[in-house]
Structure 1
Amino acid sequence: MKLSFLFEDKTFFKTMFKLAIPIALQNLILSSLNLVDSIIIGGLGDSAIASVGLANQYFFLFNLLLFGITSGSAIFTAQFWGKRDIPNIRRVLGICLVTGGTAAILFTIGGLFFPEQFIGFFSKDAVVIHMGGQYLRIIVLSYLATSITFSYSFILRSTGQVKVPMFVSVIALGINTFLNYSLVYGYFGFPKLEVKGSAIATVIARLIEVTLLLIIVYSQKLAVAARLSELFDLSKSFVYRFFKITIPVILNESMWALGVSMYAFVYGHMGTDVVASTNISGTIEKIAWVIFLGFGNACAVMIGNKIGEHDEEAAYTYAKRFMILGPAFAMLAGILVFLSSDFILSAYKISPTVRYYSHRNLMVFSFFLWVKVFNYISIVGILRSGGDTKFCLLLDMSGVWLIGVPLVAFGGLVLKLPVYWVYVLVYMEEVFKFTIGIPRILSKKWINHLSLSTE
């Protein structure tokens, strides 16, 4: 394959970077502040890190359910934007808000009334369960605001408006870090609330975030600045067609999230040191991952727009470029993680055992990152943008439940391998999806034109 295939189209790169960089920056800020938050919590000890990490498994489930709803919506939005079909974009936003809001309310109720039971599923440490329950009972109050922010942000991105969500996140997450530091330790006249203070800081930041986002959207009259009558101008056929495509995405993210939670279950039964190490290494991994979230989102928007314009050949060409560029950048990122992980871990006040485990976990991550990136771009960026959601569901479910979960449970609970070797078994899921995903993309069977009737 000639290098000119990758670099000859300047418009491709201009569009890609215009979309990818703001999304990557937004996620970099989010992950960096999460790193700072985890360091702040780390000052309270290994049990505090483990308790907050396990409580955030609940948000992880909710977050991926929201991601399924909003990314399913974005499949339609990207193609509609290619045709500049604003009315249908606003109808999709309406369904997204109702579905996401319903999920948020259900998760909020669960977190309010059964927090200790959830934490207890992952750990038998009484201190971890108590602290995690305190944290979870408070932070679920932010979930409804989070669902609204997700809905507007994802659909804004699909219309090319990537700077607004980034701007809002920068402000909100900056506030979160300041309040986190102040409320955990009682600085600047604030009460010392420890892990509860971290949860309160997040709730306040999320409320500010959604308020600021809505003010900007409606004051600037952006494409998603819909009236209630436009949001809910829905017919049965419209809703049916929408969920026919998006339910596989929602199931995909939900079932994958449950599978990943089973990994957390295994870690939880391997000990508090293991849980603390996976939470620390996971936070650092998210920083390395941010650029590829930008790549994946840019890929989905660009390919979706081209399919909406009925330019299938350009959509396929874009797919091949992303398949090469994403893993290439991931290899470079993996080298950086490998070289810098020991230095980053020096900022944590943790036991030598947790530090050792965290370092080895990051070594494994750096080696397999390129495969993980390829799969993310393939599933979220390419196949879903063409509406091939059922295949994505089957691919992800097979990887997690037939490969990942059995191997991790066997390695962690039966063979009692060190956590970093269990990490290797986690990535066998990615190797499986890599081998199955390539032929599907090359077949072009994933390219579908989506339409929603309003009759």
Structure 2
Amino acid sequence: MIKFWQNKRFLKDMLIIAIPIALQNLITSSLNMVDTLMISELGKSSIAAVGLANQLFFFYSLIIFGINSGTSIFISQYWGKKDTENIKKVLGLSITLSAIAGLFFTIIALFFPETVMRFFIKEPMVVKLGSDYLRIVSLSYIITGVSFAYSIASRSIGRPNMPMIVAGVSFITNTIFNYLLIFGKFGFPVLGVKGAAYGTLIARIVEILLILYFVYKDIEPLAAKLSELTTWTKDFVKRYLITISPVIVNEAFWALGQVMYSVAYARIGEEATAAVQVSSTIQNVFFVLVRGLANACTIMVGNKIGAGDEDESYDYAIQFLAMSTVAGLVLGGILVLTPDLTLKLFRNLDADVYDLSKKLIMIGGMFYFIRTFNATLIVGVLRGGGDTNFSMYLEMGAVWLIGVPLAFMGVLLFKMPVYMVFILVSFEEIVKAIIGLPRIKSKRWIKNIT
């Protein structure tokens, strides 16, 4: 096997796909950071409210990621065969399922926001602020689902630049309207957290309009008529659902596990919730490179399997795992050594929130290389290879049998501070790596699903 730094074709293909995806993820994470920075000016109640309210969107976003991550397996392998007819059919299915999921979550957030907020926390001010935010931002959920379907499909056929450009415009739009509406600048009303919700909604509308424009102007494999998107046979739908359902279940239960972590942290208090929101925002910005690698891995491994090059798909998998581990060690080291530097961005944090955030960032950095390895192993290799059932059992088992029980034991039984609970939760990553590596070496994850 040629090492990744010696394989020029591998590096070229990887960079063409990974860099735009990483930049798009950087823009998205930066958008979350800008939101958190602006909202932090309003105090810890607002930070906690928006952070907890967005747990519902986080849950929804992981479900649509599951739908479209599963779809990407098909599109990548069909693209390896240059089968554009079936690409359009699969895209239609992913748009439909994403929109249905969006409608479900819109109804919950629009009509039952107080119930959602009280699930996490009991403080009346946090519940009120979070409910106000949810009612408005819920109107963006269906739009987000459709946008996500087109963006993932565009990446999967080797056109990652379009979603990257659109994400950049969305970032600028959201930032401008957040500034105008949160603080009431240039004659706009002072809306606080409601302003942040309106900023998100406006940005999502701009995003979907741009995506549709670019797709139907320049990306022919995705520029489908309604009939091409919806001409499905029973066998086609069955094969699609059999493959993607483990991915959807995986993401849904993994996301629910993350939500349960938020519930556990919220039991510690408002300060712990705000600190988790701040530290997670910073860590997610650092994670963009690894997301780019993992998504590039899904596409490149899937392309090779679809084209019948199974031995090369295994070599690609090993090289991606090595790269993500090295990236994790470097990025984790930076997190451990520079928490004060990154936290300077948050000027008005209370002293207790600042101290907790610093500890969480440093601990997160120590476990970072394992987290980056697992992200590529599960999202890139196992899913790219079509081994969706094993990836589902691995991730769900680690979260629900290890992470969630340890989180609530730490909070309720041992009364630990939030940073110690975070250490307990991180043991799920160690278990995933120990179980996942032998599966990679066995090559049993290589499955041609097309």
Match of 1:256 in 2: 254
Aligned residue type for 1:403: I
The Cα offsets for residues 166-198 of structure 1, whole Å up to 9 and x where unpaired, read as 000100111101100110000022111000010
Moved over 6 A (4+): none
Deviation (angstroms), 1:36? 1.5
Match of 2:236 in 1: 238
Match of 1:402 in 2: 401
The Cα offsets for residues 377-422 of structure 1, whole Å up to 9 and x where unpaired, read as 0111001111111101110111000000000110112111111111
CA contact (8 A) 2:4 2:10 kept: no
- 1:323 corresponds to 2:308: no
Whole-angstrom distance in 2 between the partners of 1:78 and 1:205: 29
Whole-angstrom distance in 2 between the partners of 1:283 and 1:221: 33
TM-score normalised to the size of structure 2?
Answer: 0.99
TM-score normalised to the size of structure 1?
Answer: 0.98
- 1:385 corresponds to 2:421: no
Whole-angstrom distance in 1 between the partners of 2:436 and 2:383: 12
Deviation (angstroms), 1:221? 4.0
Match of 2:146 in 1: 148
The Cα offsets for residues 341-380 of structure 1, whole Å up to 9 and x where unpaired, read as 2112122211110000000000111010110111110111
Match of 2:126 in 1: 128
Whole-angstrom distance in 2 between the partners of 1:172 and 1:116: 29
- 1:227 corresponds to 2:225: yes
Q: CA RMSD in A?
A: 0.9
Whole-angstrom distance in 1 between the partners of 2:9 and 2:3: 13
2:170 to 145, 162, 172: 172
Q: Partner of 2:400: helix, strand, or coil?
A: helix
Aligned residue type for 1:129: V
Deviation (angstroms), 1:247? 0.4
The Cα offsets for residues 217-253 of structure 1, whole Å up to 9 and x where unpaired, read as 1011431111111001100000000000000000000
Match of 1:208 in 2: 206
% identical equivalent positions: 45
Whole-angstrom distance in 1 between the partners of 2:337 and 2:33: 18
Deviation (angstroms), 1:151? 0.3
Q: Structure 2 unaligned runs (5+)? A: none
Match of 2:373 in 1: 374
Whole-angstrom distance in 2 between the partners of 1:5 and 1:206: 41
The Cα offsets for residues 131-170 of structure 1, whole Å up to 9 and x where unpaired, read as 0000011101001110110000001100000000000010
Match of 1:7 in 2: 5
- 1:84 corresponds to 2:87: no
Q: Structure 1 unaligned runs (5+)? A: none
Whole-angstrom distance in 2 between the partners of 1:59 and 1:110: 11
Whole-angstrom distance in 2 between the partners of 1:392 and 1:347: 37
Q: Partner of 1:326: helix, strand, or coil?
A: helix
How many pairs are equivalent? 449
Match of 1:182 in 2: 180
Deviation (angstroms), 1:323? 1.3
Whole-angstrom distance in 1 between the partners of 2:125 and 2:237: 46
CA contact (8 A) 2:337 2:362 kept: no
CA contact (8 A) 2:49 2:126 kept: yes
Aligned residue type for 1:383: L
Whole-angstrom distance in 2 between the partners of 1:224 and 1:335: 41
434-443 or 420-429: which moved more? 420-429
Whole-angstrom distance in 2 between the partners of 1:277 and 1:413: 19
